Amino acid sequence: MANRFAPAYWRDLAWAERDRWPLWLPVALGAGAGGYFALPVEPAPALGWAALAVGLGVAAVAIAGWNRAILALLAALLLGFGLAKLREARVHTPVLDHAIVAHLTGRIVSIEPRPHGVRLVLDAVRSGAFAEGQTPRRVRVVLRGTDFRPGDWLSLTAKLDTPPAPSAPGAADLGRALFFQSIGAVGFAYGRARGIVAAGPPSLSQRLGAAIETLRGGMTARIQAVLPGSAGGIAAALITGTRGGISDDDETALRDAGLAHVLAIAGLHMALMGGGLFWLVRAALAAVPVLALRYPIKKWAAAAALAASAFYLAISGAAPPAVRAFTMLAMVMTAILLDRPALSMRALALAAAILLVARPEAITEPGFQMSFAAVVALVAVAEWEQRRERIAPRGPLYRYLHGIVMVSLVGSLATLPFALFHFDRATHYAVLGNLIAMPVMGFWVMPAAALSVALMPFGWDAPALWLLGQGIAVMVAMGHWVSGLPGAVSLAPAMPLAALLAISLGGLWCAIWRGGWRWWGLAPMLLGVGMAVFAHLPDMLVAGDGRTIAIRGDDHLLHFVRKPADKFTAREWLRRDGDGRDIADAIGMPGLRCDGVGCVVTRRIVIAASLRPEALADDCARAAVVVSAAAAVHCQGPAVVIDRDAAMRGQGWQVTLSNPPTAVSVRATRGDRPWVAVIQPSP
């Protein structure tokens, strides 16, 4: 019997699966990029270049054959870190640190329809309202109605503010996501914008980008003209990736029915479109004996599917899940063109590597994480299915239904930790939702969508779009029915990042290896589950306005001291707490005493929320935690004092009601990074 404690035993296990070693390279690449984002301070540019240089050197040594596996992983780690820093330098933009009203000019990069207007992204921004060298490269503004197109130059007056900070320490950082789009300010326009003469001739890349965005915008407008309302919004999301027109009720119903994936262009859409076109072209060519017998019609079909998929990727906005799906489909079609077999797990690893090299920040995005988690699990199960013994052949109907059930079940389980981490909710009837809705999606909705796109240049698309709208209506009705079943959704408190990392590492270990030692991955997965279940919930939260305050009561729920001024942050707190109550139901708590100048409550220690300066003297004398809407520079007694300026500079706070109490700000957890503005309190 082999000695499991001997190094040779583990070396033999690893050597037996040496064909799987390359699959860990994109994991190491992502870990290197994640290490960059985890730093509390921004590294110097020289460190990023050094990581790239050393990583390339280590890769060269690994290629030469010396300790290849270990050095290749080290090279991928270094390259991931260096590429992330290089990407930061490439997209870097000044970030607005206080609210201003500015008259500005800029060029439209993209236009996204919204329920009450459009949301524009402007680059080449010019305005005298910014200090020298502090003008953001891009700004995002909401405008009521516009006849402009991407590439147009315009002039407008807008109220601009700092990109949103996380609602609490550890929450989603939208400001970071906007920074990596070179957006340094957000806001809304006053009145109407007017077109102006271009500041200079556009570059080739700008003309190409504007042409693609104009095409997307024109297609979206055409779709929504034929299909008004939410049906048109869903149709646009399926075809052009534009999701601004979907009603909240329909989006919530599809999400709670486990059908949210139909709204994000990814593997399902690319497979139905590319694979369907491949089958259709090949079948049509096979019907012509002269072509079928003399020419490689299978390769012709693969080339047509590849070209159509590239067009679909362009008009869909090229989001990370779509890029991943296109890369995998492209590898399959390229393998057909070269008469070579396609390796699914390697195709997936290549897709991940391409995305992380081009956009290292994707490692932090829920779309990237959930998309790859689902596909890694599905490919692993498919590999297991191929190796196991089959008892008897199954019919096509069984295989189809079995495929839907397995894809839904495996995909739901694989994405569950990420759904809990990012959205604090889990759906329980995803298998049922997909079982009844996927036939409609595959045989009705997507064929009608493809037909409408093909007919759109000729102006004959209205009947196909009507047919598409009917299919969407059926699918949405199914989503509403499934989401309305008892227990369709459960809410859960926010999961710590460490728990998600442990579960992810364990899941990758189980999916990548094939031998029995793959089940060692269950240990970190169980550890992550335990960390999530026993995670400490915040005792007290204070928003950046200093007036929105929540305290955990004896019922273990958050309670607002008074009606929240910042309703968005208040809703985020409840959601991250796994609490489905409305804000109005969470106002007030037993033991809370309020008057015209403030509120006081005892939760192991005395907590005071002062509204007016005249209450400070008394509150500072008896409370251990004081939150003041006014300046509290002379409040020296309490262990924690958060006044108006501290709340704003900290971008919000989380307070632990220990003895003595402690507090950590959102600003501190975000670190000293380029996307974190040093907020200037208003006078």
Instruction: Tell me which of 3.30.2080.10, 1.10.10.10, 1.10.1040.10, 2.40.50.140 is the CATH number of domain 100-201.
Output: 2.40.50.140
User: Is the bond leading into 393 cis (omega within 30 degrees of zero)?
Assistant: no
Q: How confident is the model at residue 342 (pLDDT cuts 50, 70, 90)?
A: low
Longest dimension (CA), the chain: 96
Q: Per residue in 145-161, pLDDT tens? A: 777 888 889 999 999 99
Predicted pLDDT at 169: 92
Q: State the Cα–Cα distance between residues 124 and 137, nearest whole angstrom.
A: 6
Average pLDDT over residues 48-59: 93
pLDDT at 392 over 60: no
Q: State the Cα–Cα distance between residues 241 and 234, nearest whole angstrom.
A: 9
Average pLDDT over residues 374-379: 88
Average pLDDT over residues 133-138: 92
Closest C-alpha among 224, 241, 244 to residue 465: 224
Lowest mean pLDDT among 348-362, 387-401, 438-452, 486-500: 387-401
Better-scored residue on pLDDT, 120 or 390? 120
pLDDT at 3 over 90: no
| Crossing angle for the helix pair 204-226 and 297-315, to the nearest 10 degrees | 90
pLDDT at 573 over 90: yes
pLDDT at 91 over 50: yes
Closest C-alpha among 653, 602, 617, 647 to residue 629: 647
- What tokens does 129 get? 């309202």
Domain ranges of the chain: 18-91, 100-201, 223-491, 497-533, 540-670
For residues 483 and 489, is the Cβ–Cβ distance under 8 A? yes
What DSSP string describes 633-657? TT--SSSEEE-HHHHHHHTSEEEE-
Q: How far is CA 641 from the centre of its chain?
A: 35
Type of residue found at 413: L
What DSSP string describes 375-429? HHHHHHHHHHHHHSPPSS---HHHHHHHHHHHHHHHHHHHHHHHHHHHHSEEES-
The bridge status of strand 662-665 relative to strand 653-656 is: antiparallel
Predicted pLDDT at 614: 79
Predicted pLDDT at 459: 87
Radius of gyration of the chain (CA): 27
Better-scored residue on pLDDT, 200 or 434? 434
Query: What does DSSP assign to residue 495?
Result: P
Mean pLDDT value across the chain: 87
Average pLDDT over residues 13-17: 77
Sheet strands side by side (includes 605-610): 593-595, 598-603, 605-610, 625-628, 640-642
Lowest mean pLDDT among 162-176, 382-396, 429-443, 523-537: 382-396
3-state secondary structure of 520: helix
Q: How confident is the model at residue 84 (pLDDT cuts 50, 70, 90)?
A: very high
390 contacts: CB under 8 Å, gap ≥ 6 = none
Length of the chain: 683
Q: State the Cα–Cα distance between residues 677 and 658, nearest whole angstrom.
A: 30
pLDDT at 48 over 80: yes
Q: Per residue in 647-674, pLDDT tens? A: 999 999 999 998 889 999 999 999 999 9
User: Is the bond leading into 660 cis (omega within 30 degrees of zero)?
Assistant: yes
Q: Which residues of 71-87 are buried (b: 16+ CB within 10 A; e: fewer)?
A: bbbbbbbbbbbbbbbbb
pLDDT at 605 over 50: yes
Q: State the Cα–Cα distance between residues 280 and 288, nearest whole angstrom.
A: 13
Average pLDDT over residues 567-580: 92
- What tokens does 484 get? 């309305």
Closest C-alpha among 416, 384, 378 to residue 525: 416
| The Cα angle at residue 367 between residues 517 and 543, in degrees rounded to 5 | 110
Type of residue found at 588: G
Average pLDDT over residues 335-357: 81
Average pLDDT over residues 198-220: 84
Predicted pLDDT at 681: 56
> Phi and psi (nearest 5°) for 407?
-60, -45
Type of residue found at 435: L
Predicted pLDDT at 1: 45
Helix (H) or strand (E) holding 192: strand 183-195
pLDDT at 550 over 90: yes
Q: CB-based burial of residue 483 (10 Å sphere; 0-12 exposed, 13-18 middle, 19+ buried)?
A: buried
For residues 450 and 276, is the Cβ–Cβ distance under 8 A? yes
Predicted pLDDT at 673: 95
The neighbour count for residue 626, using CB atoms within 10 Å, is 27
Q: How confident is the model at residue 209 (pLDDT cuts 50, 70, 90)?
A: confident
Query: Of the spans 190-194, 346-350, 521-525, which averages the highest pLDDT?
Result: 521-525
Q: Considering the entire predicted model, what is its pTM?
A: 0.88
3-state secondary structure of 161: strand
Predicted pLDDT at 388: 67
Better-scored residue on pLDDT, 410 or 569? 569
Q: Per residue in 414-446, pLDDT tens? A: 989 998 999 888 888 888 888 888 889 888 998
9 contacts: CB under 8 Å, gap ≥ 6 = 2, 3
Q: State the Cα–Cα distance between residues 276 and 48, nearest whole angstrom.
A: 44
Q: State the Cα–Cα distance between residues 82 and 607, nearest whole angstrom.
A: 46
What DSSP string describes 430-479? HHHHHHHHHHHIIIIIHHHHHHHHHHGGGT--HHHHHHHHHHHHHHHHHH
Note the helical H segments in 580-672: 616-622, 644-650, 666-670
Percent of the chain residues past pLDDT 70, beyond the cut: 96
Average pLDDT over residues 316-343: 79
Predicted pLDDT at 512: 92
pLDDT at 371 over 80: yes
Closest C-alpha among 675, 594, 605, 676 to residue 639: 605
User: For residue 613, how many C-alpha atoms fall within 13 Å in the half-sphere facing its CB?
Assistant: 5
Q: How confident is the model at residue 393 (pLDDT cuts 50, 70, 90)?
A: low
Predicted pLDDT at 262: 84
Percent of the chain residues past pLDDT 90, beyond the cut: 39
